[in-house]
Amino acid sequence: MTVSKYFHAVVTGPISLLKGMSVTLKYFLNPKRIVTEQYPENKATLKMHERFRGRVELIHDENGLHTCTACGMCEKSCPNASINVLSTKNLAGKKILGKYLYRMDSCTQCGLCIESCPFGCLRMAHDFEMASTDRKSFNMVLNKTEGQG
Amino acid sequence: MQSIFKIRKSPAKKVEIFDNYYITPNMTFGIPNFVGDLVREYSPLPELALAVNVVLAVIGVLAVGIGSAPILIYMERKVCAHVQCRLGPMRLGWHGVLQTVADVTKLLFKEVYSPKGVDTVIYYLAPMISLTAPFFTLALIPFGAQWQVINLNFAVPAIIAINGLGLFAILLGGWASNNKYSLLSALRGSAQMISYEVSLALIMLFVVMISGSASLNDIIAAQSGTVLDWWIFKLPVLGFVAFVVFMCVSTAELNRAPFDIAESEQELTAGFHTEYTGTAFAMFYLTEYINIIGASALGSIFFLGGFQAPLIGIPIVDEKLLLIPDLVWMFAKIYFLIWLYMMFRWTWLRPRVDQLMSFEWKFLLPSNLILLGLGAFFIAMGWVL
């Protein structure tokens, strides 16, 4: 360490320390600046942010229709084999979605199924209170709208 | 025995307003109290008063030490939380005031066990030594004109000696734990404490030099008067620099962040007290907080006028300020300095071991020596406010 560097550090060191101090002092003196959620108390007003990853959900429009074509890309991309897409044929003999099986207990919310979907018909739901005492309730059929989760 | 507890006569320099602060010389003990007086008057053995006073002194020191620890733990959690934009404990009691009670209770009921291969005697001796040392310091500190256990003429050297005892706790605790990281922490911590003791002794010497006495009561008496008579303002610029250096060195002596090389959570988990559980760990934890009280009490005595009210020289305001007891002023100053220590801890980063050492030997030690020389020069030239 040269002499000039030494004296440079002696002068700039305290200045940078004071800068840090001013930031924390600002935070300390403004208790309303808190960024944490007070969870059980703000249950009524709590809104999850846009990118929150809850369970996987099939997007249904206002008529209760989804755009899934049972191509099975999500099933192939799932690293935990949580998804099984069971297809059937409709009256015209065309392949359509029969049952979208989703096992939430083995899902890690990695989001690969959503990324791999070519039609954009999957998304992450925003519900987060998913604890259950019954293991069977984690086995969901996503294209059934009622009785899920 | 009796001669040790004799209070020294107050120094020659007196301001009239402070006359009632001084202890009369025929009193044998620093804590004049109702119980001791009763015993001295009515009991067949007046000498029993001394024993009663000793018991009261022990209770007083324990009350300050152990009583403050839960308050400080709560305060630390709250200060830390608000610095980091959190709320901290909120659930138990009003704003979480009962949280520390629950934590301490949990800690006391935990099983005390030691890992395989520890040096049992030293392993259990270390927390005891660590808890003994800070109480010595508390006994020497005047928390008010009448609230002191012993007024030693050589209080400052005694405190330096006692600080050395705290080092044994770290060294022995880390050595006996049979854990290589604890050992590493112990060696680091003791190297740090030995180095910073040099600066602490020098900065204390600075205060002793400008006050002209090594007794804490005389150091406070030297600062009697208005706020401008406190050493932080009385010596222009130098006083403030000395205060900053003192805060720096005492943070390092306390082993608190940003100088918590011995504990360094991220590298050595908890350093020398990794292997301790339950009460033994609680003793190390308690030591840390009692040490903070001791260090900030010293800081307020050396630079902020100790237990004296912050008079501003306007008689109407000063009368009101003097109505508040000196004990309250002392604790207000102590808690202000503790708050400063906590802000330091949660703001700044820990330096590396080599940076820490070069900071002490290449910066603090020379600047302390320069400070000492300049202080002597200022006093000799009479450049005092």
Nearest alpha carbon to residue A13 among B27, B12, B358, B121: B358
CA distance A135 to A142: 17
B27: pLDDT strictly greater than 80: no
Whether chain B has a CB inside 8 Å of the CB on A21: the answer is yes
Q: Summarize pLDDT for B246-262 with one digit per residue, the tens.
A: 998 999 888 887 888 77
A145: pLDDT strictly greater than 70: no
> Which of the two residues, A145 and B45, has the higher pLDDT score?
B45
Give the closest-approach CA distance of B146 to chain A in angstroms: 36
- Copy the structure tokens of residue A34: 């808190």
- Copy the structure tokens of residue A10: 């002696």
3-class DSSP state for residue B385?
Answer: coil
Kindly identify which residue of chain B lies nearest to residue A17, measuring between CA atoms: B348
Give the closest-approach CA distance of A101 to chain B in angstroms: 41
B15: pLDDT strictly greater than 80: no
- Copy the structure tokens of residue B119: 């040096």
Taking contacts as CB-CB distances below 8 angstroms, the residues of chain B near A40 are: none
In which band, very low, low, confident or very high, does the pLDDT at A149 lie, cut at 50, 70 and 90?
very low
Give the closest-approach CA distance of A108 to chain B in angstroms: 28
**Spacing of C-alpha A105 from chain mean position:** 15
pLDDT given at position B339? 92
A51: pLDDT strictly greater than 80: yes
Taking contacts as CB-CB distances below 8 angstroms, the residues of chain A near B87 are: 31, 34, 36, 38
Of B79, B347, B363, the CB nearest to A20: B347
CA distance B268 to B274: 8
Nearest alpha carbon to residue B155 among B302, B334, B14: B302
Distances (CA, A) of A4 to A8, A9, B81: 6, 9, 39
B188 DSSP assignment: H
CA distance B357 to B351: 9
Q: Summarize pLDDT for A111-134 with one digit per residue, the tens.
A: 899 999 998 889 888 888 888 888
A77: pLDDT strictly greater than 70: yes
Task: Tell me what ipTM this predicted complex has.
Answer: 0.71
Residues in chain A: 149
Mark out chain B residues that contact chain A at CB-CB < 8 A. 79, 82-87, 90, 343, 346-348, 362-363
Q: Summarize pLDDT for B56-103 with one digit per residue, the tens.
A: 888 888 888 888 888 898 998 989 888 888 888 888 888 888 888 888
Give the closest-approach CA distance of B236 to chain A in angstroms: 20
Percent of chain A with pLDDT over 90: 11
Write out residues 53-112 of A within 8 Å (CB-CB) of B.
Answer: none
Q: Do A27 and B82 touch (CB under 8 A)?
A: yes
pLDDT given at position B359? 87
CA distance B70 to B77: 11
**Spacing of C-alpha B293 from chain mean position:** 4
Q: What is the mean pLDDT of residues A41-60?
A: 85
φ, ψ of residue B247 in degrees (nearest 5): -60, -40
CA distance B139 to B290: 12
Average pLDDT of chain A, as a whole number: 85
Q: Do A27 and B83 touch (CB under 8 A)?
A: yes
pLDDT given at position B139? 86
If one counts every other C-beta atom within 10 angstroms of the C-beta of residue B43, the result is: 12
In which band, very low, low, confident or very high, does the pLDDT at B143 lie, cut at 50, 70 and 90?
confident
Q: Summarize pLDDT for B263-280 with one digit per residue, the tens.
A: 777 777 777 888 888 888
pLDDT given at position B5? 43
Q: For residue A101, what are the β-bridge partners?
A: A84, A141
Q: Do A27 and B84 touch (CB under 8 A)?
A: yes
CA distance B137 to B249: 17
Q: What is the mean pLDDT of residues B290-306?
A: 89
Mutate one of B82, B86, B243, B359 to test the A interface: name it (highest A CB count within 10 A): B82
**Buried-state track A49-59, b at ≥16 Cβ within 10 A, e below 16:** eeeebbbbbbe
The DSSP annotation for chain A comes to --HHHHHHHHHHHHHHHHHHHHHHHHHHH-GGG--S--TTTTTTT----TT---SEEE---TTS--------HHHHH-TT--EEEEEEE-TTS-EEEEEEEEEGGG-----HHHHH-TT--EEE--------S-GGGGEEETT--SS--
What is the Cβ-side half-sphere exposure of residue B266, based on CA atoms within 13 angstroms?
Answer: 7
How many Cβ pairs closer than 8 A exist between chain A and B?
36
B22: pLDDT strictly greater than 80: no
**Domain ranges (residues) in chain B:** 113-381
Average pLDDT of chain B, as a whole number: 81
Those residues with Cβ within 8 angstroms of residue B244's Cβ, 6 or more apart along the chain or in another chain: none
pLDDT given at position B23? 41
Mutate one of A11, A28, A33, A34 to test the B interface: name it (highest B CB count within 10 A): A28
Q: Summarize pLDDT for A14-45 with one digit per residue, the tens.
A: 899 899 899 889 888 888 888 888 888 888 88
Of B84, B86, B347, the CB nearest to A21: B347
Q: For residue A84, what are the β-bridge partners?
A: A101
CB A106 within 8 A of CB A82: yes
